[in-house]
Amino acid sequence: MEALLQQRGLFPLTANTLKDVFSLKRSGDLRPIAIGRAVIAEMDRLADADVSPLPHAYVIAISDPDARALDYAKKSLAHELRQAIGNHAKFEGYDLLGEPHVDIVIDRTVERGACKVTPHQRPLQKSKPAPEPAEALTPVAALTLPDRSSHSLDSASTSVGRQPTCGVVIADPSVSRVHAEIVRRDGGWWLADRGSTNGTTVNGAPVIDPVELNHGDTIVFGSVTVRFESA
């Protein structure tokens, strides 16, 4: 799930703001990115159980020592988690009951370094609808590689990596076999890291949560720099 959060966690928390907060490492303390990881896991668990729409509000219980350690960033953390919930839902196509909301509370039964995520309410369940035929997309975006080759993003989802089966193949040792994924959703293009070894950045910012791409963005997969172009 660490990979998921740095792919998507997802979730995790937007990289363009407070990325310094989410990269903190404290010995024994709960890391903010671990909270995001837990929220992402709960959302995906509910979705896998055919819960729809998903809860929009979550109670996050943490230990008293962790609450004191995170007190200085509590407001910012809550803001980042709300954004992460919304971004993950949008990226995965999850419907939410309302605007994302989180409450961070102290629970003395929770051990230091751990957290417990509970939805606020129990949403109605419904059967999964029959999948709709994939929409044929006209190529309106592309990645330009260092050799100036252009690779059209002509499907709803395009994988990027060293593996020959990827939609965009980058034969560089710094690039993971399946390094990232670019998804078209709601008229925009979103990039998620797929747990790569050397990470992904957009305009210098690490991709932790899925990031919406704009024309001219500079993307670095491992140590390979590419340019995103859209109509």
- What is the set of domains in the chain, with CATH numbers? 2-119 (3.30.2320.60), 141-230 (2.60.200.20)
Q: What is the pLDDT of residue 4?
A: 44
Q: What is the pLDDT of residue 205?
A: 93
Q: What is the pLDDT of residue 120?
A: 75
Q: What is the pLDDT of residue 8?
A: 45
Q: What is the pLDDT of residue 133?
A: 53
Q: Are 173 and 197 in contact, with CB atoms under 8 Å apart?
A: no
Dihedral sign from CA coordinates of 7, 13, 19, 25: negative
Q: Compute how many other C-beta atoms are within 10 angstroms of the C-beta atom of residue 213.
A: 21
Sorted by sequence, the CB contacts under 8 Å of residue 164 that are 6+ apart come out as none
Q: What is the pLDDT of residues 124-142, one digit of tens each?
A: 444 455 555 555 444 579 9
- Cβ-count burial of 146 within 10 angstroms (0-12 exposed, 13-18 middle, 19+ buried)? exposed
Q: What is the pLDDT of residue 187?
A: 82
Q: What is the pLDDT of residue 186?
A: 81
Beta strands in the chain (DSSP E): 57-62, 101-106, 115-119, 141-144, 150-152, 157-161, 168-169, 180-185, 188-193, 200-202, 205-206, 211-213, 218-221, 224-230
Q: What is the pLDDT of residue 20?
A: 37
Q: What is the pLDDT of residue 9?
A: 42
Residues of the chain scoring pLDDT < 70:
1-28, 121-139
